[in-house]
A and B are shown apart, each in its own frame.
Chain A
Amino acid sequence: MNTITIECLRYHPESDAEPRFQSWPVPFTDDMSVLQGLQYIKDHLDGSLTFRWSCRMAICGSCGFVLNGVPKLGCETFLRDYYPGTLRVEPLSHFPIVRDLAIDQSDFLKKLESVKPYLINPDVPKKGTFIQTPGQMDEYYQYSKCINCLLCYAACPQYGLNSAFTGPAALALLHRYNADSRDAGKAERMQVVNAEDGVWGCTLVGYCSEVCPKAVDPARAVNQNKIESTKDYFFRFFRK
Chain B
Amino acid sequence: MKTYTRPMAGWWKRNPFYLWYMLREASCLFITAYALMLLWGLYRLQQGKIQYEGWRESLSSPLSLAFHAIALALVLYHSWTWFKIMPKTLPRIPIPDWLVVTGGVAAVLVCSALVLVLT
> Which of B3, B12, B25, B89 touches A226 (beta carbons < 8 Å)?
B89
Q: How far is the CB of B23 from chain A (nearest CB, A)?
A: 12
Q: How far is the CB of A240 from chain B (nearest CB, A)?
A: 23
Complex Cα spacing A46 to B5, Å: 24
Q: Are A69 and B88 in contact (CB under 8 A)?
A: no
Q: Are B88 and A219 in contact (CB under 8 A)?
A: yes
Q: Are A104 and B1 in contact (CB under 8 A)?
A: yes
Complex Cα spacing A71 to B42, Å: 49
Q: Are B4 and A157 in contact (CB under 8 A)?
A: no
Q: How far is the CB of A163 from chain B (nearest CB, A)?
A: 9
Which residues from B are CB-within-8-Å of A224?
88-92
Q: Are A204 and B1 in contact (CB under 8 A)?
A: no
Which residues from A are CB-within-8-Å of B3?
13, 96-98, 104
Within 8 A of B (CB), among A1-33: 11, 13, 18-19
Using CB atoms, name the residue of chain A closest to B90: A224
Q: Are B8 and A160 in contact (CB under 8 A)?
A: yes
- 18 A-B pairs with CB atoms under 8 Å apart are A13-B3, A93-B6, A97-B4, A97-B6, A98-B3, A104-B1, A139-B92, A157-B8, A157-B12, A204-B85, A204-B89, A205-B21, A206-B88, A207-B18, A217-B88, A220-B87, A223-B89, A224-B89
Complex Cα spacing A224 to B87, Å: 9
Tell whether A210 is near chain B: CB-to-CB under 8 Å: yes
Which residues from A are CB-within-8-Å of B91?
224, 227
Which residues from B are CB-within-8-Å of A69?
14-15
Q: Are A70 and B4 in contact (CB under 8 A)?
A: no
Please report B residues at the A interface, Cβ cutoff 8 Å.
1-6, 8, 11-12, 14-15, 17-18, 21, 25, 85, 87-92
Using CB atoms, name the residue of chain B closest to A138: B92
Please report A residues at the B interface, Cβ cutoff 8 Å.
11, 13, 18-19, 69-70, 93-94, 96-98, 104, 139, 157, 160-161, 203-207, 209-210, 217, 219-220, 223-224, 226-227
Complex Cα spacing A205 to B102, Å: 21
Nearest 10 Cβ contacts at the A-B interface: A96-B3, A13-B2, A223-B89, A220-B88, A97-B4, A96-B5, A223-B88, A205-B21, A160-B8, A219-B88
Other than A94-B8, A104-B3, A205-B21, give 9 A-B pairs with Cβ distance below 8 A.
Answer: A19-B4, A19-B6, A96-B5, A97-B5, A157-B12, A161-B11, A206-B21, A207-B17, A227-B91
Q: Are B14 and A160 in contact (CB under 8 A)?
A: no
Using CB atoms, name the residue of chain B closest to A93: B6
Which residues from A are CB-within-8-Å of B90?
224, 227
Using CB atoms, name the residue of chain B closest to A70: B15
Which residues from B are CB-within-8-Å of A96?
3-5
Q: How far is the CB of B100 from chain A (nearest CB, A)?
A: 12
Q: Are A157 and B88 in contact (CB under 8 A)?
A: no
Complex Cα spacing A161 to B5, Å: 12
Q: Are A206 and B1 in contact (CB under 8 A)?
A: no
Q: How far is the CB of A99 from chain B (nearest CB, A)?
A: 9
Complex Cα spacing A69 to B1, Å: 27
Complex Cα spacing A207 to B12, Å: 12
If A70-B15, A210-B17 touch, whether A204 touches B88 (CB-CB below 8 Å) is: yes
Q: Are A98 and B1 in contact (CB under 8 A)?
A: yes
Complex Cα spacing A220 to B8, Å: 25
Which residues from A are CB-within-8-Å of B12?
157
